[in-house]
Amino acid sequence: MATVAIVGASGYAGQETLDRVLTHPALELYALGSDSLAGEAAHALDPRLGRNGWSRIPRFITNGAALSCGADVTFVCLSHREAAELVPPSRGVVIDLSGAHRSAEPSVYPSWYGFEHPHPHGLELWSYGLPEVSPPSGRLIANPGCYATAALLALAPIADEIARDGVVVDAKSGMTGAGRSPAASSHAGVVLENVTPYRVGEHQHAPEIASLLGFPVTLVPHLLPVRRGLLATCFVRSLGVDLRAVLEDHYATSHVVTVLPEGVVPDLARVQQTDGAEIGVFEDRLTGGVIVICALDNLGKGAAGQAIQNVNLLYGLDETAGLRLAGVLV
């Protein structure tokens, strides 16, 4: 059993990571970090954690204490700026679910995240862990962003087979994509009965996508009035190759990403609360273009599920251990 510390366990990503660690056959929870809940029992975060069967959950400690506790695996579930400030432990695997280490280029951070990176010379030590496209390596892993995950799952396998100019990603995410901290833009009066584009032309996942693809795309994110789930619709032009065949071949052995049969559209309801992703491929009969759609849960495959998947690969475990890959549509 590998011991686990979760830094920033009281946020959405931290809570989702905790939930998966508790049911993972090869991970043992060792430390729960939260500066706001330090000293409290686990049920202060969620009353369900105080029920019978979860008595082994430790009390919350500070994030600093969790980071330095010597766990085999440390999940960092903090804001971009907070995660950037941290000095990673000298041992064990570290999975950063923020955007603080997704680029090895220091200039990305002031331009796209709004701060100078405090540890620019250590950025090259982090690997980008998108298992189906860029498998994790080493012990310091940057977990991809949710929009980037969906766009790259749809586009990376076909990147060499499409025109590189004019690629558009129209993406929509549930409210939890913005994190648990309240903001004026996440008030019910703004979100409910509404769909809002935001950070148009300046979302931080755009350079992340471009870095992996090797060319830029136009990313337009939208906020959906739902709790969770993400849908990315990508508009591309084939260079004469059957893009469906390329995607089906790439994901033929994947237990996490499914290329749907022809004519079947990806559906948020099928991926919500899971760690899987669905991809649909369609021809635009009028323009001759191709539309590739990816659906996933922004907190699952877009965050905590992917973090667990990366740990599984690094430890040589079953890639799907601890993941939620099946649900019931009701």
Q: What is the pLDDT along the chain (330 residues), one digit of tens a residue?
A: 999 999 999 999 999 999 999 999 999 999 999 999 999 999 999 888 877 666 579 999 999 999 999 999 999 999 999 999 999 999 999 999 999 999 999 999 999 999 999 999 999 999 999 999 999 999 999 999 999 999 999 999 999 999 999 999 999 999 987 666 666 667 777 778 889 999 999 999 999 999 999 999 999 999 999 999 999 999 999 999 999 999 999 999 999 999 999 999 999 999 999 999 999 999 999 999 999 999 999 999 999 999 999 999 999 999 999 999 976 555
Contact 274, 300 (CB under 8 A): yes
Greatest distance between any 2 Cα atoms in the chain: 61
Nearest-angstrom CA–CA distance, 255 and 326:
11
- Per-residue pLDDT, 193: 84
Read off the tokens for 296: 């996933």
Contact 97, 304 (CB under 8 A): yes
Read off the tokens for 62: 């500070």
Three-state secondary structure call for residue 98: coil
pTM above 0.85, yes or no: yes
146 is catalytic: yes
- Per-residue pLDDT, 228: 96
- Per-residue pLDDT, 203: 96
Nearest-angstrom CA–CA distance, 86 and 76:
9
How much of the chain is helix, strand and coil, in % rounded to 5? 30, 20, 45
Nearest-angstrom CA–CA distance, 211 and 197:
23
- Per-residue pLDDT, 176: 84
- How distant, in Å, are the alpha carbons of 229, 230, 258, 269, 289 from that of 329? 14, 17, 16, 7, 31
**Residue of 77, 146, 234, 294 marked active site:** 146
- How distant, in Å, are the alpha carbons of 82, 111, 166, 212, 273 from that of 114? 13, 6, 27, 21, 31
